[in-house]
Structure 1
Amino acid sequence: TFAKHYQENYNHLKSPPIWVSCELMSIGHLSRWIHNLRKPHDRQAIADSYGLDEKVLVSFLHHLTIVRNHCAHHGRIWNRRLTVKMRLPSKKPAKLSSVFNRDEDAHGRLYNTLAMLAYLLRIISPESHWRNKLIELLDTCPQALDGVMGFPVGWRMSPLWEEAL
Structure 2
Amino acid sequence: MKHLVVVRNMAAHHVRLWDHEFTAYTLPYIRKNPKLLKEAMDASPHSQRIYRTLALLTYVMEALHPKDDWKGRLINLVEAFWRDWRDFRERMGFPEDYQRLTLWR
CA deviations 1:34-73 (Å, max 9, x no partner) are xxxxxxxxxxxxxxxxxxxxxxxxxxx1101000111000
Q: Give the Å deviation of 1:149.
A: 0.5
Structure ID, larger Rg: 1
Residue number in structure 2 paired with 1:157: 100
Q: Give the Å deviation of 1:94.
A: 2.4
User: Secondary structure of 2:92's partner?
Assistant: coil
Equivalenced residue count is: 100
Q: Which runs of 5+ in 2 are unaligned?
A: none
1:100 is the counterpart of 2:21: no
Q: Please give the residue correspondences for 1:9-20 in structure 2 after superposition, counting only pairs within 5 Å.
A: none
Residues 101 and 150, structure 1, Cα contact 8 Å, conserved in 2: no
Taking the aligned partners of 1:102 and 1:154, their CA distance within structure 2 comes to 9
CA deviations 1:140-165 (Å, max 9, x no partner) are 111310x2100012101111111xxx
TM-score by length of 2: 0.88
User: Secondary structure of 1:148's partner?
Assistant: helix
Q: Which runs of 5+ in 1 are unaligned?
A: 1-60
CA RMSD of aligned residues (A): 1.4
Taking the aligned partners of 1:63 and 1:102, their CA distance within structure 2 comes to 20
Residues 101 and 152, structure 1, Cα contact 8 Å, conserved in 2: no
Q: Give the Å deviation of 1:101.
A: 3.8
Residue number in structure 2 paired with 1:74: 14
Taking the aligned partners of 1:109 and 1:161, their CA distance within structure 2 comes to 17
TM-score by length of 1: 0.57
Q: Report runs of 4+ in structure 1 exceeding 3 Å deviation.
A: none
Using the TM superposition, name which of 80-89 and 62-71 deviates more. 80-89
Residues 22 and 48, structure 2, Cα contact 8 Å, conserved in 1: yes
Taking the aligned partners of 2:15 and 2:61, their CA distance within structure 1 comes to 23
CA deviations 1:76-113 (Å, max 9, x no partner) are 0000001120112112122321111466x611100000
